[in-house]
Structure 1
């Protein structure tokens, strides 16, 4: 089993109040509506289990679900780290952060996410697998941004 990772980082100034963006980013019912491929989130306090739609990487279908420990600094920062339950093997996981700060009449939103998956393919496939992962993450990020802005406009 080989491990493959891809990281995406982005910064945007969103025309919305920080409190409204925070409310969307910390709501496990709203996030799946905003995030492509995210089917649902089950929560137990600061432990969130993310269920993603099936992905095809290197000719292999992966049904990723993974457990994250979430750390919230109210209205300014969300950090998450892959922490599978004891005795459970999860073939995918994420780690990263969201940071929010007032900027002008909007909110600066910085995001960094690293997604890691384990696949039963040779590590030699890394360039191809990680290129596909990166492209999928970029597309997901673009759609998430559009969906977040649409959600915030509807909530205003």
Structure 2
């Protein structure tokens, strides 16, 4: 897998801009929560946040409003140096605290999951602040929401998996 290590400047820029979309893209994006509000938005469904390992109830999460990750990826454009490269791509979302989650290209663009992976800036009709965890990335189609519920999104990096 192609690994990209962000520079100190890129990480500092990510903090200032809220998050970046980089890696195997044609046009890297650097977006603030306020800029996200200018995109077409999607309203998710409320869900119960539960611990993945114990199934312990954590809290009820009211509907998030945000931008589909697929819309941002389409705006950035994927590098397709060889025919079909995009089919071997994985998207790694990383929070400010280092927590990371991943999605495959097939999952985002070839299943209903992609329609419900949001980068949220609002919850229950109220704007999310940095203290609330903005921006929040979550997958509304997952059976258990907690493992791919990420607060303070710092970056999404697109990687190309190599031949096995």
Same fold by TM-score greater than 0.5: no
Higher helix share: 1
After TM superposition, the score normalised by the length of structure 1 is: 0.31
After TM superposition, the score normalised by the length of structure 2 is: 0.30
